[in-house]
Every structure is written in C-alpha cells, then in structure tokens.
Amino acid sequence: MLREVFGYRSFRGRQADVIEHIIQGGDCLVVMPTGGGKSLCFQIPAIVRRGVGLVVSPLIALMQDQVSALRQLGVRAEFINSTLTLSGIREVESAACRGELDLLYIAPERLMQPRTLELLSRVNLALIAVDEAHCISRWGHDFRPEYLQLGRLGEHFGTVPRLALTATADSTTREDILTRLDLTGAKQFISGFDRPNIHYRVVEKLNPRKQLLDFLKGEHSGDSGIVYCLSRRKVDETAAWLGTQGLSAVPYHAGMDAAARRAHQDRFRQEDSVIVVATIAFGMGIDKPDVRFVAHLDLPRSVEAYYQETGRAGRDGLPANAWMTYGYADAVVHQQFIERSEAPPEQKRIERAKLQAMLTYCESAVCRRKVLLEYFGESHGGRCNGCDTCSSPPERIDGTEMARKALSCIYRTDQTFGAGYLADVLLGVENERILHNRHHLLSTFGIGKDRSRREWIMLLRQLVVSGHLRADPEFGVLKLTAESIPLLRGERRFEMRIAAKPPNRRIAGDRSRHESAEKPPAAIEALQSASQRRLFDRLKEARLKIARAQNVPPYVIFHDRTLAEIVMAQPRSLDELAGIHGVGKQKLKRYGEQVLDVLLDEEP
C-alpha cells in the first residue's frame, strides 16, 4: 500500500507500529512532529480495513488539501463542510452509506449534530481519527470548545477503533486528551519532537521591521513563509509595509472577510514566493511542504504554540528557519492577557508556567534545541549547531554588580516604574520626568553610565525571567521578589547573557544547509548545474499547469523533492519513473507520460 498508492519506499519512525495497531482494531494516541507523517497513520488503515475511515478535522483548508492529495492517488476520499451545496452533501452521505468511500473528512461541530450521528450509525466505519487533538485540551495551546463533545464518540461508536493525533502535546496535555476523548486505556505512540532541518534563532527586538526585512531579503529571497504577529492591526500594517518593500505579502486574521481570507490562503497554497502575515488564526493543518521560514514578530504564548507554529516550516525535510524577535514588552503583554482573562485560577497558573517556559527558552544561553526538546520530556545532549546559541554562542558575564545596582534603583524609586524609566535613571538621563520625580537626587542616579541602555534593558529582562523581579501585568512596572534579597545582599551571584552578533547566513536563498540539519536527499542537494536547474524549473512549470487545470495546489501533484529526484535520475521509461520517491501507481498512470515528455524535450 505504501509503495503502490503513496509512492514511498519505507515507513518513518513509528508509522508502521501505529498502522499495525489500528488495523488490528486498537485505540491510540499518536504524537508526531509536523511533517512526521501522521496522516499515513490513519489513511493506510482506513484503506486496508473494511468500511469508511472517519477523520475529524478542524479546518476546511486542511480537509481540501488532504482530500485533493488522496484523490490524486486514486483513494476514494470526500469531505463534508460548508463549501458543499446541499445536494453535494447528500451525494457524499449516500456514497458513505453505500461503502463507496475510503475516507470521509468532517468538522467536529458538524460530526456531533444529531442528524450526522444518525447517518453515521448506518455507515460501516473502519476507524475514527481525531486530528489536531490538542484542540480538546484546556491545557493545550489551541483549545476549541467544539472539540469537547467528541468525548461522546465512544458512546456512539464503541466498537470502532479510535485514534487521536497531534504534533504538540506535553505530558499534561496528553493526559487531558486521553481523558476527554475517553481513551484512557489507549496505547500511546510518542515520536521524537526534534526537527533537525529547522534552524532556531531569537534576536533582541530593536527595530523589528528592519530586522525582519533584513532576514527576508538576506536569507529568503523568493521563498514562501509565514510571519506571525500578535494583533490584527499589526498583521495588516506589516503586510502592507512588506508590500512597499517589493515583497509579495498578504494578511490573514479572523477579522477579515471570509472570502478575503480564503483568497489569501489559496494564493499561499498555490503560488511560490508568497508571504502570509498572520495571527495564530492561520496555519493549523497547512500541508504546504515548501515553507522555508516561520518568523515571529511577537512572543508566542507558550512553547507548545511556538513548536506548532515553527513546525509549519520545512515539512519537506529541507533546511528551514524559525526566526523570532523578542523584547521585554512581549512578556508584559502576555501577562496582561493571562491576568485579565476570565479563566479559572488553576488555568491561569498553568498559563503563567507556560509563559515562563517560553521566556526561559528565549533567554537561554545553551542550545535552544536542547531546551525545546527537554520541555517535551525528550533528552538532548546540546551542541546541535542548528540554533543561534550553538552557531554564535552568547557571551556570559558576571552580572552580579549590575544586578545589585538595578535592584537598588528599583527599591529607591518605590517599585513603581518600568524598564525604560529605570534604565534612564541608571544612565543618569536628566529628562523632564526624572527631574519632576526628583530621582536625579538618588544615589543610584547615573551609577550605570559604564553600560549601554540596551545592556540595562537586557539585564532587567533577564532578572524578570530568573524570578528576581516581577513585572506587574497591569502597568508593566518592575517589583522586587523574595529572590531579590540574597542578590541585593551580595549572597548570590547572577550570570548575565549577552547575545553574540549572528553571522551572515543564507539558508534557502542559495540552498546551503546547516551542518546539523538532516541531510536532504542527494537528488535535491546536487542540483547545481545550470542544465539541472533549467530542467527542474521546466518540471515545475508543467506541474503548475496541471495543478491550475485541476484547481489544486502544485504540491498535491508532486513535491519539489520528487521533481528533483526525477532530474537526477533522468528516467527513460515509466518503469524507471515508478522508482522515484512519491510516484505511486495512480500518479504514474496520470502524469508519467507528461513527465517523460518534459525530460525528452530537454535532451540536446
């Protein structure tokens, strides 16, 4: 099935174990990184087992992408969502009842409607797969109330094997998923969280727009990617500004008209070199394999959210970047969100802990991959050479004396000011506000002139993350904590991290790769000659023509990896083409002759 239908040579990770378990009728929870092949874990069993595989999916775009891809493979797949007419829905329902489908995709809110449950009681179900299962957990990063009813699936379909799948779930979230879906006895398949082809980088937020532009033009000219912002207004402004800089950028957020959101998402899926600037409303379930970067202009609210969002880059296994600007104000904004929410105390406590973990990741002086993986309970030796702290190790200095000066300044200004004001006092800035407050008369006024403003802001931020200071969520003012006392008295040392200037990098632009990144297929890495690049581009043109005729994304026809392997292998027959990664029996039948025609036309 793997070879003939999907065109793959071997299973990855624990795919084979999961598939065998489900085929035998077992329930399970599957946690695999984005791009790790979760979909195959329910697609193959749905085809092998008798009946229809029911897939619960939260997004229309995800349903459409997966159904389009399956149809290309000759798999009988359909979806039911709001894009279909009433007659279209009736046709799909009838096909399911007659057993003429292998897979049926449906949204959670539609699934749990009485009419749908009654219909499915007349369908022979092969399995039920709950995709993006973290959405059911209040402790997860993307809780969706419509998922809560899915716990009743066991009542209605108790004999049907069920599986929950997600790319992101710590131990607390995993337990919550199993409890809420009534799968407490299910087997868990937890794959490694490492994405070795992604390079992680966090830069201090100084001039974020310029920093973003330098990153995009310096390393990702002509690439597709996602830029995440915290607010809708910032999304609109950033997308418009990138457009003035000659980049093809479109906004995406929940405040936009639905038709505009759909048009922008379709452009991203079907065109090269499109950048989507978005809130977190965009991205879950995006199957586009050639996203070369994910950039954050604001701090994500948790490590889980960060991992999920950055995981949308490099699904094809080729080098990709996860880049983020981060500053003191980001932490304050998120604290305000937490404290002003109507969440119960226990949920607020967990959200504070998640934010603290995210801040710790940003301020880390050790390997970021190590910090990231250990958060999910996976050990890592460090020195991955695939993050900024490994490739450009930050300087570590004894910041004890600086910290004591800062804490003393906070105490003497009555713990009622923010980081910017405190930095001015330490630097001896005689501005109107300081003079009005008579803080120029304090003993701490000007005692930090030997350091830059940037260093004082950096120190105050690190004191907050280390717990020596607390940022008031309402006003952003800094206050001392119990941890401050030993440091003020000189009974404890404080090590300060000063980020090194990052080296110039070009990741996707010149197709170089990181030393630590998973070695991409030789077929892609070796595309260096002009003739090879020309043939690759001609295959992409042919693919685009086919995709447009069918109104599907180009990657649904063939991935870039498949085209590149075709270039290197130069198959001369359909039998030789059948040996290429991603060329299954149905795609060989549909497109084999067209591919060979392009190869033949390229010969001298």
Domains in the chain with CATH codes: 2-190 (3.40.50.300), 198-395 (3.40.50.300), 397-496 (1.10.10.10), 522-602 (1.10.150.80)
pLDDT digits (tens, 9 = 90+) for 235-269: 999 999 999 999 999 999 989 998 999 899 889 98
| AA letter at 354 | K
Number of Cβ within a 10 Å radius of residue 105: 24
Could you report how far apart the first and last alpha carbons of the chain are, in Å? 38
Residue 31: in which H helix or E strand, if any?
strand 28-31
- Give the pTM: 0.82
Please check the confidence at residue 483 and state whether its pLDDT lies above 50. yes
Who has greater pLDDT, 124 or 530?
124
The rounded distance, in Å, linking the Cα atoms of 432 and 457 is: 20
pLDDT interval class at 509 (50, 70, 90): very low
CA gap 226, 489 in Å, rounded = 47
* % of the chain exceeding 70 in pLDDT: 94
**Amino acid identity, position 281:** A
Residue 165 bridge partners (DSSP): 30
Structure token digits, residue 147: 């998922």
Q: Which two tokens stand for residue 422?
A: 């405190």
User: How far is Cα 588 from Cα 74, in angstroms, rounded to an integer?
Assistant: 11
Stretch 375-394: mean pLDDT? 90
pLDDT of residue 511: 39
CA geometry: angle 458, 461, 462, nearest 5 deg: 85
Residue 241: predicted pLDDT: 97
Q: Nearest 5 degrees, angle CA 545-CA 547-CA 548?
A: 65
Contacts 24+ apart (CB under 8 A), 14-21: 14/189, 14/191, 15/40, 15/41, 17/189, 18/163, 18/189, 19/44, 19/45, 21/187, 21/189
Q: How many CB atoms lie within 10 A of CB 531?
A: 10
Cα separation, 556 vs 69, whole angstroms: 5
What pLDDT was estimated at residue 258? 86
Q: Which of 62-66, 294-298, 583-587 has the lowest mean pLDDT?
A: 62-66
Strand (E) positions, 307-430? 320-326, 395-398
Cα 144 to Cα 522: distance, rounded to the nearest angstrom: 42
Report pLDDT digits (tens) over 351-365: 888 888 999 999 988
Strands 224-228 and 198-204: unpaired
d(CA 200, CA 322): 5
> How many DSSP H helices and E strands does the chain contain?
27, 17
By mean pLDDT, which of 106-115, 118-127, 130-139, 452-461 is the weakest?
130-139
Residue 507's pLDDT band, with cuts at 50, 70 and 90, is: very low
Q: Rounded mean pLDDT of the chain?
A: 89
Q: What is the pLDDT of residue 526?
A: 58
Residue 523 is predicted with a pLDDT of 42
Residues 469, 410: contact at Cβ < 8 Å? yes
How much is the pLDDT for 227? 97
The pLDDT tens digits of the residues spanning 527-546 come to 778 888 889 989 999 999 99
Q: What would the mean pLDDT of 308-327 be, rounded to a whole number?
A: 91
Give the separation between CA 327 and CA 235, rounded to whole angstroms. 18
396-426 pLDDT tens trace: 899 999 999 999 999 999 999 999 999 999 9
Confidence of residue 512 (pLDDT cuts 50, 70, 90): very low
Give Cβ neighbours of residue 126 (< 8 Å, ≥ 6 apart): 45, 46, 49, 50, 51, 52, 53, 160
- For 300-339, b/e burial (b = at least 16 CB within 10 A) is bbbbbbbbbbbbbbbbbbbbbbbbbbbbbbbbbbbbbebe
Q: 119-123, 193-197, 245-249, 519-523: which has the minimum mean pLDDT?
A: 519-523
Whether the pLDDT of residue 318 is over 90: the answer is no
Mean pLDDT, range 106-123, rounded to an integer: 94
| pLDDT at position 515 | 38
